[in-house]
Structure 1
Amino acid sequence: MTDTAIRPAAAGADTDTAAREAWAAWHAERERALTAPHGWLTPVALLWLRAQRRTLPGVPGLWWADDRGAHVLAVDDDGLVDAADTTATLRGERSWEVVEDGSTVVARFLPPGRDPLAAPDDVEVVVELVRRTGRYALRLRDPQAATRARFTGVPTYPYDESWVRDAPVRWYDAPQRVVVGAAQPGLVHDATLVGEVDVARGGVTRTLRLVGTPGKDGVALIFSDEADDVAAWRVLHTARPAHGSPTIRLDLNRTLNLPYAFTDFGTCPSPVLGNHLPFAVEAGERAPRRAS
């Protein structure tokens, strides 16, 4: 199969200008989301819970996990407040359950030495409870993280209309469950494959598999490629076309870095086996500059 099997999206001068402007707006919104007070530039720790009650570095309270969920034992002096009601201090024992691969913010606290009169989103650390590979962990998100303070933007390749493609797609009759790796050693993720798509460049075509995105009307293409200055793998989220459509629109200019590329505390899924393109995808986000 050659490049002729993939139809570039139609574009004239006006269409190209509009597409570039839309991409610029999308990129600006992407950076605004990253720099949110507790966004993906702010994780500072990933702390795994054990069966025994214990203190954890950097977070108040005694924490543990068992078959009933994750738990904390807190007293007033701990300064933990309920994420759902920031006027309520956590006292005594509290418990939560999270589904596999899920997460929820359960508490907030003000670290010692920070101004209690400042805006909470400027100074308070949030405690996110995550469940991965059957285990619970706390991910701490600090608005004063060095990663956020030193952020100067996500480097990208220039917008290139040739990376916008209507690619042949084949939907599976039934979703296929597979296990993939993760950014953290020892973790795995369950992935739901919903179809496969042909991606071509320079006369080379590869078939990659698409992952369903629960709760969203779209699919994700998680892949690696041969470009030099990119993360080990990236993701493209795209809308799912009408049922029966023989093609799917892939705008690789909107290829994103997953959270693990910005922080050491991401647990992102890796590509399904074989989702590698043997050519450089010089489109979308490049490897981000890390704070040191």
Structure 2
Amino acid sequence: MSTSTPTATGAVATAPTTGTPVAAASPPSPDATAWAGWHAEREEALRPPHGWLSLVAYHWLPTEPAALPGVPGLWWADADGAHHRAGADGAVRTTAGAGVATVVVPEGGSSVAGTYLPEGREPGTDRATARGGAHDERDETREVAVEVVRRTGRYAVRLRDPLAPARLAFDGVPTFAHDPAWVVDAAVRWYDAPRSVVVGAARPGLVHHVSTVGEVDLVVERDGVSHRATLVLTGKAGGAVTLLFSDEADDVAAWRVLWVDADVAPGTDARVRLDLNRTINLPYAFSDFGTCPAPVEGNHVPFAVTAGERAPR
């Protein structure tokens, strides 16, 4: 007779029933522990009532005042911005008071114009309970936020509902297991100056203007085979550097993003660390209402990157 004990890796350690001790599973590495903490913070950042999991609708604004499905008031847009005023069904609650509220946002930008409580819905308190600040979903706002966005020269309204099915059902983002082999030091060539590039978007008919700042050589050893890809980095001098890419892995979003911990040094060659375990999904992967930019043309990794977040739906 023997007994079987599952280990942390999923393997089974077997020991005889005579009392022979079973070897303890190896503790996770410091890098894996740090990744687990980072991933927990990443998931928590998705949970706010009006966060990326709350998107439920996207409406282009007409040129003349008109009602939008399920949204109080009348809405329209022109060269002066996006406008809203009360209709027969009331108005969205804003800080503008009575009359016409106007919201102006730059291309690619967004701003919350106001909020409203759908008919028949009980309000929340939008604060922690008196029980020492403990979280309770009943204390969250239940109002819908009306976000004005400007994409490809046009204004639209996007709704953020705390009771969105994606948010209510959220129990975490699926990921590949942390693997130190997906942490690589890569050669990077920074451009002399940012280069403007037009890319597609998650929503059909839209484009984004992005700045590319350099090229990085991704070299990964997997199963004794060396895989290579040269990819373009986006960002700007003094700002965040990102790597948007698609790859050949199954069960992942059409493209994902990695924030690169590096400072742009125009006109130089250097090395950067790419921790592909921290590759994440963009907002479009969680709903049908994201307008996220697509990767620069050619930013496809011709092998499976089995690291980071998997497709959430």
Residue equivalent to 2:21: none
What is residue 5 of structure 1 aligned with on the other side?
Answer: none
The size of the alignment, in residue pairs, is 269
- Percent of residue pairs bearing the same amino acid type: 58
Following superposition, the deviation at residue 81 of structure 1 comes to 1.4
How much does 1:76 deviate? 9.5
Matched, 1:55 2:54: no
Match of 1:191 among 201, 210, 232: 210
Deviation >6 Å, runs of 4+: none
CA distance in 1, matches of 2:186, 2:63: 49
**Shift in CA distance, 69/137, structure 1 to aligned 2, threshold 3 Å:** same
Distance change in 2, residues 1:213/1:20 (3 Å): farther
Question: What is the match of residue 86 of structure 2?
Answer: 74
Q: How does 1:117-266 map to 2 (within 5 A)?
A: 118-120=124-126, 121-201=140-220, 202-212=225-235, 217-241=239-263, 243=265, 244=268, 246-266=270-290
The CA deviation string for residues 213-266 of structure 1, in whole angstroms up to 9 with x for no partner, is 68x732010000000110000000122247356101110000000111000000
Structure 2: how far apart are the matches of 1:242 and 1:190?
19
- Are 2:282 and 1:276 equivalent residues in the alignment? no
- Picking from 68, 76, 93, the partner of 2:100 is 93
1:192-222 deviations in whole A, cap 9, x for unaligned? 00001001223221110000068x7320100
Q: Deviations over 1:7-46 (max 9, x none)?
A: xxxxxxx9x7221111111111111111111111100000
Quick one: distance in 2 between partners of 1:213 and 1:241? 9
Query: Secondary structure of the residue that 1:41 maps to in structure 2?
Result: helix
Matched residues in 2 for 1:33 and 1:59: separation?
27
Q: How far 1:286 sits from its partner (Å)?
A: 0.2
**Alignment root-mean-square deviation, CA:** 2.0
Cα deviations by residue, 1:112-166 (Å, 9 ceiling, x for unpaired)? 11113x2244310001110000001111000000011111210000000111111
TM-score by length of 1: 0.87
Q: Give the drift of 1:78.
A: 1.6
Whole-Å Cα distance in 1 between the matches of residues 269 and 46 of structure 2?
A: 34
Unpaired runs of 5+ in structure 2?
Answer: 1-25, 127-139
Query: In the alignment, which residue of structure 2 is the partner of 1:7?
Result: none
List gaps (5 residues or longer) in structure 1. Answer: 1-13
What's the secondary structure of 1:203's corresponding residue? strand
- Tell me the equivalent position of 1:22: 34
Contact 1:170 1:197 in 2 (8 A): yes
Q: What amino acid does structure 2 have at the position aligned with 1:178?
A: V
Cα drift, residue 96 of structure 1: 1.4
- How far apart, in 1, do the equivalents of 2:263 and 2:30 lie? 22
Larger-gyration structure (1/2): 2
* 1:207 partner amino acid: T
